A and B are shown apart, each in its own frame.
Chain A
């Protein structure tokens, strides 16, 4: 019966010596239960190393979201309200870049920041700053593409009124970003989710250095490869809980504000 959990048919496992005890330890169900217990234990104990990892993860991803928003949202809004040659092409490219693989971003940022690279003199490779840069680049297309869509939809409704009042195109982009702030919350959360959950880019440009650049995702990857699945999964649970809590908070704010402002 235990063998079934391992995905083996009993007859094909005849020459594999697995004691019932070993099989139980490796059962995925047990791993999940053990991981939940371990995660709980880590949280209750407020293990300082764990707290350090969680805080670093949050700091890096939040900084990346702020930078990504400051650059990405105005770009999205500007594309939405301006009519120019190549707008459609730009939109398609932007939408496509939402699927940018994080390892590719990591690699490019690595090449830029490495000693021999054009920005090597900054000396920030394998620092949290490099990780922020990589995550910001990763999520910027997502923020720009999704905000372009939201602003373009609203522009249909607002266009004549704003132009009639004497608003310029760029002024309209800024006005709309502020007016759509509650809808944009969801987009910003999507950006944060992508930043907090990616592992490839921060692994490459951060290096997963214990106590310096180790974040939740790189810690999970490391523990998995070390074979400590319960700890890896426990960290996963905590990551999920943090992201869920942030989303829930933002959702409540959004709902309340939307009821008030219509």
Chain B
């Protein structure tokens, strides 16, 4: 089933209007306005401490903006099934089997009990964890846990998926597997919004790039153009400083 193919109105686009976020006197996000449309894979780039992760959490609703507004085209009803998901840098697994973890996500996505097992197994197959279905999730390796986190996402096929540096603590092999799943999720119709500061990953996965610097959205451009000829001075300096792939 393709997300958005059903009768419900789409969540997207997501509109941010002059969004700011402050902790005490520290302004972490300083008035960002932008729109996330269905379709292209969006990668948020920027140096450490630029506010990328906070921006992602604001979009996902884990943080509330101190000012400005964040609005979905057709918001999820409160307490209703989830149609958006997020993958964190370090996945958190429950003390149950890999299958149990995926079924837990399905329950909260409003999937009827009878269908959960089947869909969970299909999702585990997608990420190559079908042989680990009965294993305790918390004793899996870091890469396997991150794939399990993506299986959780795959099972509920959300309209939009936020990823916060999902491969930051993984080796190249595991990173490659995760990137493959992300590409497959996008091909199946899920909007991808990913934070990274790895230029190689941005190059491989991004259709468009949002460059965030000191809490401001400095530049938004197609990935190809941005990585070759950044328009802003901050972005140019960032691209020079970062070790590319």
Contact = CB atoms under 8 A, between A and B. Distances in A.
Interface of A: 157-158, 160-168, 175, 179-182, 260-262
Interface in B66-99: 79, 81-82, 85-86, 88, 91-92, 94-96
B136 interface: yes
B92 A157 contact: yes
A165 B105 contact: yes
A166 B79 CA distance: 7
Given A165-B104, A165-B105, A165-B108, A160 B95 contact: no
B94 A175 contact: yes
Contact of A160 (B62, B81, B105): B62
A260 B85 CA distance: 29
30 contacts: A158-B92, A160-B57, A160-B86, A161-B92, A162-B92, A163-B62, A164-B60, A164-B86, A164-B88, A165-B85, A165-B104, A165-B105, A165-B108, A165-B152, A166-B82, A167-B108, A168-B79, A175-B94, A179-B94, A179-B95, A179-B96, A181-B95, A182-B95, A260-B136, A260-B139, A261-B95, A261-B136, A261-B138, A262-B95, A262-B137
B50 interface: no
Contacts of A261: 95-96, 136, 138-139
Contacts of A157: 92
B200 to A, nearest CB: 27
A158 B94 CA distance: 9
A166 to B, nearest CB: 4
A9 to B, nearest CB: 62
B109 interface: yes
